[in-house]
Structure 1
Amino acid sequence: MTPTSLQGLKVLDLSRVLAGPWASQLLGDLGADVVKVERPGAGDDTRHWGPPWVAEPSAETGPQAAYFQCANRNKRSIAVDMATPDGQALLRELAAQADVVLENFKVGGLKQYGLDYDSLKALNPRLIYCSITGFGQTGPYAPRAGYDFLIQGMGGLMSLTGRADTEDGAGPQKVGVALVDIMTGLYATIGILAALNHRQTSGQGQHVDMALLDVQVATLANQAANYLVSGVAPKRMGNAHPNIVPYQDFPTADGDMILAVGNDGQFAKFCAVAGRPEWAIDERFASNPARVANRAALIPLLRQTTVMKTTAEWVAALEAAGVPCGPINRLNDVFADPQVQARGLLQHLQHPTLGEMPLVACPIRLSTTPVRNRLAPPTLGEHTQEVLAEWLGRA
């Protein structure tokens, strides 16, 4: 069988909900043996976050919310009560065998169980221990609980998302998925892999401290740079771009489309397709800085033009001319898209009790050590005996 990138790596996953499980799922996708520790009788909170359900809750499987399935493939589940001395002792034994421990409890929350970094480092000096919290291990907010929605507000993202204050429906908006959790999971994975690489040469483990607020601020990207250079806090602009014009949604004869003009050459090509070549040489619109400065004059002209054709007609004509554009798809359109289908982004895994289960594929494509979907998201405690036998040699 083709080897995987992280084959042989053992991950003890004490995290729940989304940021931590997203990181451990990615490690599992890359081939690590991820053991998910869950509370007996309850499991990860997201098992209960339905409907929709993959299957109706039953005595055999418990709740199986669709939400849980998005972040827990390629893992094995064990049911351990860490509130008991026996459970704590068992988890310490497993941590002694692990390469990575991942947790997202409040700062200091695992110390009472002897499962904090310092306690486990004493048992396993090579351990990579990743903590994911709202605000990190230090600073005045460290003791606080942090949630994606809260961090989107505190970290500035909601000040940039939503209609402009001059438009109907204005006001701050969160992103439609828990993006801060997901980005934190991705950064956590990068931090873990960096620590593992360092261990290869030093033999030393280390603590990876990840904070949702840190990640949100770090990923403000060009908006943060715009503020730091200008001293002016950006405002909500709906779907418009602060630095590029035209780069937003436009109405068509039967809906809407995205027009993403990234340079002056593309703008000239758009003008030719639109039958308005004079715009490309108009000093108000000929360069991107000029278009940004004269946004208020250009956008209404574009809107009057784009409504003259359907979305499909614009997409066909503009793609042929090399102008980036596209429809605004609902999810049913996304999964019916021929490019999405060609890339295999919808996959099915066979679940031991629930049958065939649809999942979104991992997007990483590796030529030599490809990602493999080995395990469907587990039922609660499905692999307890199996893991104890393999990791600890217990019959």
Structure 2
Amino acid sequence: MPFITPLAPPPGPLHDLSNHAAQETTIANNLTKTEINTETNDFAPKIPRVCLDLDTIPDMMAAKLATSLLGHILFLKNQIPFPVLQLSRLPGGKSNSRAAKLKRDLIESFDTLSSHLDTTFTALSTAFARCSPSDAVPSKTGDAKQRSGNQAYMAILVGPSIGTAKSKVIFAVDGLETKIWGVRDDLPRKADVQGEESDDSDLEESDDEEDLEQTHEDFDDDDGDSRSEPEDSGSEDDSDADSISSRSTSPILQSPTVSRPSTSITHTSSAQDHAREQQKIRAADQLLSRTLAMADAEGRGMACELAPTQTHVLLRAPRRFSHPAWVPRPNFTNSMEHTLSDFLEETRLLVDVSTEDKPRNRRSQKQKVEGVWVAAKVLSLNTPPTQLSRITGEQQSKPEQGQDEADEMIWWSWDGKMVGFSSW
């Protein structure tokens, strides 16, 4: 018998072939995207970044994040044996011992600085708002408008003095809300009011002259009428007296009291707004802590074993900045501007996370500058236009041509003292 071989199955319909080809193309694209994402995830910014889903960063949120970062730095730099929140729970030995005194002094200094930071960023926001709008940017319509946010920088230096700091940490806030606190938003600006008054001054003077002439004419007419009718004045006076006496004897009707529910509604809405703001602040604080933890796990952390020493806190602000807890330090402006310039260069660098835990040679010619970059929605990473170029101290101390001296950026230091400790 002849051997019969089975025939191959008929090809599928054309639409199945097209779907199969499309599936293979999709799988290939997905693999390519996966490989690209894997390669991209191996790289991370050298300076940890915290992106907040906000148009501008309020002053209270910036103060809370600055306080939280300061607590992390004290613990990561071995200035305290436990996190700040756990220091008060440590079992106290002898109350008059040196360790107990150091712990008590540091807790008091940290609480004082925390309360000062709550108002520091408010005063800084006001100082930025009062500065001349030199950083106005053109809008899509072509009109110039002032930036709604500004860049604020706070430095945490760990070392015996500001000039001999062993560790430098920069806290950058990109998008700090600029607002003159204590002034209502619905009130017109002083410049606008003066402009309107100057424009309408001529019209008001002409109107006043016309009113004065009309008043003189009316007075002359009334005088003539009173002279022509002297007899009717007596009867009118009697009728007016009778009406006044009848009004005085009639009982006075009291207006009914009307309840005002709008007051309670206003209090309720303000309480709800405050609760939402506090919730946003807590979420931002948790995001900062999580970002620092991830950076430390990937080898980009700021942990360092330093001997207990002093911690100095500095702030970059205009000369018009006013706060009783901060002292201007223009003599440190040159060195701090160079430190800030190094930090801004570090923010643009990406590092390979897979090789960060390997030993590497540190640069000896330039000290490592660490920090955190906190931004609102979109990371701009724009350097401030003034005083960040590599220039001499004499040129750097002079403000730009046409710039108000009160708008010049200098560095301020907190007037308190914070000393770390290790024994407890």
TM range (shorter): under 0.3
Task: Choose between structure 1 and 2 for higher RCO, CA contacts under 8 A separated by at least 6 residues.
Answer: 2
TM-score normalised to structure 2 length:
0.20
**Structure 1 length normalisation: TM-score?**
0.21
Give the number of the structure whose residues are more often helix, by fraction: 2
